[in-house]
């Protein structure tokens, strides 16, 4: 089993140490290999906001760097940890740039065979929820099986530090047990609705050369798989509903 930890902190301190603790516990329950990807060492250039990845397609992005190599690493892993310190009640700038560079995945998701942990380290409880919520969308098709926040501020006494460590160890144990279970993708109601909405929007799109139009016009669902009668019915009903809403100008 392979776990990829994507870390946006520039230092090997709280965030890194938290993942090392998770790795140590995980290896007690399973034969697993952890790979650490530090965004400070990756060639992932700052997003310039041109929207080319959304409109024409990610292959037309003018920035040539490690973007696709990172995707390959994610898709070759069984589990992925997205880890960031809490900066000003959000993820730090390196993780925000990571999110921006892969924003097209919120239109055309792909990580349907990966399971994810979202990890935030913080000196205060304020902003932890916002930071975790910021990470969630970029999972893009993957299954979130764990959300962990670890507090470690200079003013914390030994009792609070030990409590945080116990909390982390408990969550790490749960993560290890979930990862050990066999996993195969099953479409959730939310993803069925997501696909229906985007497919309906693209059918009404007048510019048929957009990346989204090409993507959704060629697919029956995100994943090439046998859908149940109920799942096919949901897709058909909601595609018709969203199509109607688009035509009358509500969406």
Quick: pLDDT tens for 161-205.
899 999 999 999 999 999 999 999 999 999 999 999 999 998 877
Q: Which domain-ending residue is among 153, 180, 207?
A: 180
Q: In the predicted model, is pLDDT for residue 20 greater than 70?
A: yes
* Residues 141 and 28 both lie in one domain: yes
Mean pLDDT, residues 203-214 = 81
Pairwise CA distance, residues 58 & 173, whole Å = 37
Task: Say how many domains are in the chain.
Answer: 2
Q: In the predicted model, is pLDDT for residue 131 greater than 80?
A: yes
* Residues 121 and 195 both lie in one domain: no
Pairwise CA distance, residues 121 & 167, whole Å = 13
Mean pLDDT, residues 34-42 = 98
Q: In the predicted model, is pLDDT for residue 103 greater than 70?
A: yes
Mean pLDDT, the chain, rounded, equals: 95
* Residues 209 and 164 both lie in one domain: no
pLDDT at 149 (0 to 100): 95
* Residues 81 and 125 both lie in one domain: yes
Confidence of residue 207 (pLDDT cuts 50, 70, 90): low
* Residues 212 and 238 both lie in one domain: yes
pLDDT at 205 (0 to 100): 74
Task: Tell me the residue length of the chain.
Answer: 251
The pTM of this model reads: 0.93
pLDDT at 156 (0 to 100): 85
* Residues 170 and 228 both lie in one domain: no
Mean pLDDT, residues 225-248 = 96
CA angle 34, 84, 173 (to 5 degrees): 50
* Residues 31 and 137 both lie in one domain: yes
Q: What percent of the chain has pLDDT over 70?
A: 99
Q: Which domain-ending residue is among 163, 180, 197?
A: 180
Q: Which domain-ending residue is among 131, 157, 180?
A: 180
* Residues 82 and 202 both lie in one domain: no
* CATH code of residue 138: 3.40.50.360
Spatial contact of 6 and 42, defined as CB atoms under 8 Å apart: no
Grouping H, G, I as helix, E, B as strand and the rest as coil, residue 220 is coil
Domain around 194: 189-247
* Residues 173 and 194 both lie in one domain: no
Q: CB count, 10 Å around CB of 189?
A: 10
* Residues 24 and 48 both lie in one domain: yes
* Residues 163 and 196 both lie in one domain: no
* Residues 202 and 142 both lie in one domain: no
Grouping H, G, I as helix, E, B as strand and the rest as coil, residue 120 is strand
Grouping H, G, I as helix, E, B as strand and the rest as coil, residue 83 is strand
pLDDT at 211 (0 to 100): 93
pLDDT at 19 (0 to 100): 98
């Amino acid at each position: 089993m392979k776990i990829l930890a994507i870390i946006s902190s520039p230092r090997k301190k709280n965030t890194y140490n938290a993942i090392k603790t998770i790795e140590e516990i995980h290896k007690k329950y399973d034969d697993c290999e952890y790979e650490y990807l530090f965004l400070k060492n990756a060639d992932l250039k700052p997003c310039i906001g041109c929207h080319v990845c959304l409109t024409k397609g990610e292959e037309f992005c003018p920035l040539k760097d490690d973007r696709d190599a990172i995707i390959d690493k994610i898709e070759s892993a069984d589990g992925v940890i997205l880890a960031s310190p809490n900066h000003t009640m959000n993820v730090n700038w390196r993780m925000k740039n990571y999110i921006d560079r892969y924003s097209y995945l919120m239109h055309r998701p792909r990580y349907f065979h990966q399971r994810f942990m979202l990890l935030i380290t913080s000196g205060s409880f304020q902003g932890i929820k916002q930071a975790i919520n910021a990470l969630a969308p970029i999972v893009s098709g993957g299954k979130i099986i764990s959300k962990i926040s670890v507090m470690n501020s200079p003013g914390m006494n030994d009792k609070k530090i030990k409590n945080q460590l116990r909390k982390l160890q408990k969550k790490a144990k749960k993560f290890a047990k979930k990862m050990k279970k066999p996993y195969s993708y099953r479409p959730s109601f939310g993803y069925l609705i997501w696909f229906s909405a985007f497919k309906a929007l693209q059918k009404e799109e007048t510019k048929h050369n957009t990346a989204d139009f090409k993507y959704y016009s060629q697919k029956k669902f995100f994943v090439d798989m046998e859908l149940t009668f109920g799942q096919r019915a949901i897709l058909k009903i909601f595609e018709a509903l969203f199509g109607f809403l688009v035509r009358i100008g509500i969406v």
